[in-house]
Structure 1
């Protein structure tokens, strides 16, 4: 077996044992994204409620 095949087998074994790893730069930002999304949705709901005359 050549080196490329061995590396591929090793990578597959590591992925199987550990599971796919989230990149470190992504971890803090997806929480911020969800926070802004929820704030935006709440803002839109409030605007709709204010716009509708009761």
Structure 2
């Protein structure tokens, strides 16, 4: 085997071991931001739906 095929096999092995690529919006920072905004929106909805005292 020549060097080109060995490099190709090595890159394929590296890609396979890395696993599926996570989308950008699921990275920890973005996920935390999304969760925070979702909780804020839900709390506002709950406050508006509650009967005023």
Equivalent in 45, 48, 51 of residue 51 of structure 1: 48
TM-score by length of 1: 0.54
What do you get for the CA RMSD once the two structures are aligned? 2.7
Runs of 4+ aligned residues of structure 1 deviating over 6 Å after TM superposition are none
Q: Which has the higher contact order (CA 8 A, sep 6+)?
A: 2
TM-score by length of 2: 0.54
Partner of residue 12, structure 1? 12
